[in-house]
């Protein structure tokens, strides 16, 4: 018999390489709160069902509480020889309460234990992230309200398209994050079932009460199939997929911050709090936080991909491959939490150069659509013809190196005699955005309403 917890049928010690590849305590120790909470729920249920005596259950519970204190205060020594968090806790429990510790693992396996711990961990993470995402939405909506009438260029293909308002642009991210929150919420709903009591894979012959442990751990219900309970890692995959989409959204905003803070754009500035310098170029102000929000998507998407690959070929039920579910997920979720905080920080920190945005908004013939729309509305042209006439006027202005509003009325009527002096009213960027009052449009009035509605909802 070896010293391992499972050493009964073993006579030789494990090879050092096996120990090295098998050990997970370095990363799964962060499941300690969940592990102890689940063990407490399990032993209370075993006592209620008469599987262990109340006296034994009490000694085990007190021992677990002591371990909790030891870990919290930093005196607990995690042992790599004990492989993972479950065996570290159980082995220490045996030191504290003696052989009675062995009764805790009745009607339980590490397979349902780790599935339970990890679900609890992900559920906690999702709840904390939701609060952080809400805070980010609030930061964005507050800025949107303040910049409801700030005209900026709207882009398609990153070419000047039509003037929009900065507030409207920011509210686009509020909508994206609302959907992100919805995806995490959906994932939480589905993961909120208790695998505890599925044991190794087949359930148990002991008269356990899975409803009781599910309730104690604030799960909606126990999982219905013991094999699925220990085989399933959808809950991690779903969370990582929601995390990936969310990180992608944050990355797009981060990319815009990188672009907008260049001297060439100069739309926004970041204070020293969110800027780094260069060791060689004294003038440099680098948006490192934004770049890293963009860069962290690599590891977040990677964690999703890695776990999909780990899972795809596994026959039911548990295989040790599944231990590979944790490091990537922890890293991805930690990274995402950091990104959300960084984006909220930059959103609150940034200064807006309204003049630079306005000047850029008029560049690139961004009001050409307004001119074409005017030809339809005031001169009765079909839109396709109006598009063509406007194109000729843009070409004329471009040939002269001026904006549309700088063309003389005679220039305009020479291209199409139906044009009247009223056309000049639609060529300015303010008029352009003010006219975008269709539901969901960029007009300052719309933005004010929507930003206010969001702030109320987020309060
Ligand atoms: N450390 C393991 C994991 O994370 C716990 C489950 C081990 N189960 C087993 N049958 N060896 O997956």
Could you tell me the residue ranges of all domains in the chain? 16-103, 110-150+162-206+224-359, 364-458
Catalytic residues: 157, 278
Helix-helix angle 32-48:110-146, to 10 degrees = 130
The CATH number of 16-103, from 1.10.8.100, 2.30.30.230, 1.10.275.10, 1.10.1060.10, is 1.10.275.10
pLDDT at 1: 46
Ligand 1 atom nearest the C-alpha of 200 is 10
Q: How far is CA 400 from CA 394, 397, 403, in A?
A: 10, 5, 9
Residues 2-11 have a mean pLDDT of 75
Helix-helix angle 297-312:234-260, to 10 degrees = 160
Could you tell me the fold of the domain covering 364-458? Answer: Ribonucleotide Reductase Protein R1; domain 1 (1.10.40)
pLDDT tens digits, residue range 217-262? 999 999 999 999 999 999 999 999 999 999 999 999 999 999 999 9
What average pLDDT does the structure give for the chain?
Answer: 95
Pocket test for ligand 1, best of 14, 32, 111, 227 (most atoms within 8 A of CB): 111
The model carries a pTM of: 0.94
Ligand 1 atom nearest the C-alpha of 318 is 10
Ligand 1 atom nearest the C-alpha of 118 is 4
For residue 73, with 0-12 CB atoms within 10 Å meaning exposed, 13-18 middle and 19 or more buried, which class applies? exposed
Could you tell me the fold of the domain covering 110-150+162-206+224-359? Answer: Fumarase C; Chain A, domain 2 (1.20.200)
Chain-centroid distance of CA 103 in Å reads 41
User: Separation of 401 CA from ligand 1 center, angstroms?
Assistant: 70
Query: Among 358, 413, 317, 28, which residue's Cα sits nearest to residue 165?
Result: 358
Q: How far apart are CA 332 and CA 247, in angstroms?
A: 10
Dihedrals φ, ψ of 287, to 5°?
A: -85, 60
User: Separation of 319 CA from ligand 1 center, angstroms?
Assistant: 8
Res. 282: pLDDT tops 90: no
Residues with CB under 6 A from ligand 1: 24, 28, 84, 110-111, 114, 318, 320, 322-323
| Closest residue to atom 4 of ligand 1, CA basis | 323
pLDDT at 2: 63
Pocket test for ligand 1, best of 35, 90, 109, 110 (most atoms within 8 A of CB): 110
User: Separation of 113 CA from ligand 1 center, angstroms?
Assistant: 9
pLDDT tens digits, residue range 350-408? 999 999 999 999 888 888 999 999 999 998 999 999 999 999 999 999 999 998 888 99
Residues 22-31 have a mean pLDDT of 97
For residue 282, with 0-12 CB atoms within 10 Å meaning exposed, 13-18 middle and 19 or more buried, which class applies? exposed
């Amino acid at each position: 018999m070896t010293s391992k917890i499972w050493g009964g049928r073993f006579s030789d010690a494990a090879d050092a390489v096996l120990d090295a590849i098998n050990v997970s305590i370095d990363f799964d120790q962060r499941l300690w709160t969940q592990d102890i909470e689940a063990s407490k729920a399990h032993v209370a249920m075993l006592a209620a069902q008469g599987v262990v005596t109340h006296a034994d259950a009490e000694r085990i519970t007190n021992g677990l509480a002591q371990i909790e204190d030891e870990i919290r205060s930093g005196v607990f020594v995690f042992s790599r020889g004990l492989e993972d968090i479950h065996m570290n806790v159980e082995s220490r429990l045996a030191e504290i309460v003696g052989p009675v510790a062995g009764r805790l693992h009745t009607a339980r396996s590490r397979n349902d234990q780790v599935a339970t711990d990890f679900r609890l961990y992900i559920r906690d993470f999702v709840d904390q992230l939701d609060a952080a995402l809400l805070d980010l939405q609030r930061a964005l909506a507050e800025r949107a309200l303040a910049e409801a009438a700030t005209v900026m260029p709207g882009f398609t293909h990153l070419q000047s398209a039509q003037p929009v308002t900065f507030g409207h642009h920011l509210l686009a991210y509020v909508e994206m994050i609302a959907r992100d929150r919805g995806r995490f919420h959906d994932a939480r709903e589905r993961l909120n079932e208790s695998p505890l009591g599925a044991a190794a894979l087949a359930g148990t012959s002991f008269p356990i009460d899975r409803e009781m442990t599910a309730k104690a751990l604030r799960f909606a219900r126990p999982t219905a199939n013991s094999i699925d309970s220990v085989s399933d890692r959808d809950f991690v995959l779903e969370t990582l997929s929601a995390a990936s989409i969310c990180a992608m959204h944050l990355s797009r905003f981060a990319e815009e911050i990188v672009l907008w803070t260049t001297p060439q754009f100069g739309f926004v500035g970041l204070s020293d709090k969110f800027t780094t310098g260069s060791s060689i170029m004294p003038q440099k102000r680098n948006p490192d936080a934004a770049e890293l929000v963009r860069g962290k998507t690599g590891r977040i998407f990677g964690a999703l991909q890695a776990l999909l690959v780990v899972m795809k070929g596994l026959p039911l039920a548990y295989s040790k491959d599944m231990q590979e579910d944790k490091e990537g997920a922890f890293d991805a979720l930690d990274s995402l939490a950091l990104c959300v905080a960084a984006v909220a920080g930059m959103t609150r920190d940034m200064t807006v150069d309204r003049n630079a945005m306005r000047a850029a908004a008029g560049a690139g013939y961004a009001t050409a659509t307004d001119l074409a729309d005017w030809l339809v509305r005031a001169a009765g042209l079909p839109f396709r013809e109006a598009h063509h006439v406007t194109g000729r006027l843009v070409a004329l202005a471009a040939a002269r190196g001026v904006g549309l509003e700088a063309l003389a009325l005679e220039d305009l009527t020479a291209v199409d005699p139906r044009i009247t002096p009223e056309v000049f009213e639609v060529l300015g960027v303010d008029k352009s955005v003010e006219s975008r009052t269709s539901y969901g449009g960029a007009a300052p009035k719309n933005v004010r309403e929507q930003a206010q509605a969001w702030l109320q909802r987020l309060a």
